């Protein structure tokens, strides 16, 4: 497996904007969020396990996972939340490893909203955090998702604190400016990671 750079950051910090730029530079980007959704697609064993545990009401009429219903079920029930995490975490780890094993050399990016919280940072050779002022996170996310500032603040509070994330970082990109500035910061990191990864092989 090649050199892996974990890319994390709070909601609306600019992880996707940054990882899109890495992708444009030819770097394979594995997205933990997408991996976790792929796992529970119709017909996958994890979805069968979830249906067995929660009952058929957890499925939509089309037989897909009803995410809103699942969120409801685990929101007020820590034991159910734990059950689900015990099922999914190892599977997400396997899915990520499978995708990373097929990545382009010499390095790849693992982007995850829960990089620090989930322990995924520990399997990375380097941790890059995209950091933005809370006011930027709020305004970007409310515009993008049509959420209220209160909803976004709730998510920010449920995530690792800025201090915790920064303490786990080897590298930090401040994303309070324009997209062009973000791209040029990513380009600089890319040069650095190419050097590191090539030294590592
Ligand atoms: P989430 O955790 O919610 O998936 P994220 O960290 O992936 O968020 P992005 O989706 O990359 O964040 O960015 C949030 C929104 O802000 C997007 O609409 C993105 O295009 C925009 N954005 C990101 N960085 C900048 C910037 N420097 N200037 C202007 N807009 C930006």
pLDDT in tens, 102-133: 999 999 999 999 899 888 899 999 999 999 99
- 73 CA distance to ligand 1 middle (Å): 29
Rounded to whole angstroms, how far apart are CA atoms 150 and 61?
32
Nearest atom within ligand 1 for CA of residue 143: 18
Task: Please tell us whether the domain made up of 3-200 is placed in CATH 3.20.20.70.
Answer: no
pLDDT score for 2: 85
Q: Is the CB of residue 8 below 6 angstroms from any atom belonging to ligand 1?
A: no
- 111 CA distance to ligand 1 middle (Å): 13
pLDDT score for 152: 87
pLDDT over 70, % of the chain: 99
Residue 1 has pLDDT above 70, yes or no: no
User: Of the residues 11, 12, 21, which should be mutated to test ligand 1's pocket, given the most ligand atoms within 8 Å of the CB?
Assistant: 12
User: Of the residues 6, 8, 9, 14, which should be mutated to test ligand 1's pocket, given the most ligand atoms within 8 Å of the CB?
Assistant: 14
pLDDT score for 24: 98
pLDDT in tens, 45-99: 999 999 999 999 999 999 999 988 998 888 788 999 999 999 999 999 999 999 9
């Amino acid at each position: 497996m090649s050199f892996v750079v974990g890319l994390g950051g709070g909601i609306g910090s600019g992880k996707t904007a940054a990882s899109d730029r890495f992708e444009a530079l030819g770097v394979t980007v594995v997205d933990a969020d997408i991996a976790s959704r792929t796992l529970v697609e119709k017909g996958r064993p994890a979805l069968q396990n979830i249906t067995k545990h929660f009952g058929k009401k957890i499925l939509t009429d089309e037989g897909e996972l009803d995410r809103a219903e699942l969120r409801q079920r685990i929101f007020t029930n820590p034991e159910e939340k734990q059950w689900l995490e015990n099922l999914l975490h190892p599977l997400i780890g396997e899915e990520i490893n499978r995708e990373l094993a097929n990545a382009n050399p010499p390095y790849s990016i693992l982007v995850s909203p829960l990089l620090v919280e989930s322990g995924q940072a520990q399997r990375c050779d380097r941790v890059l955090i995209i950091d933005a002022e809370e006011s930027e996170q709020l305004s970007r996310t409310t515009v993008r998702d049509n959420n209220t500032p209160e909803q976004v603040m709730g998510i920010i509070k449920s995530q690792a604190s800025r201090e915790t994330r920064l303490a786990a970082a080897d590298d930090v990109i401040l994303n309070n400016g324009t997209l062009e500035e973000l791209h040029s910061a990513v380009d600089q990191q890319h040069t650095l990671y190419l050097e590191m990864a090539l030294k590592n092989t």
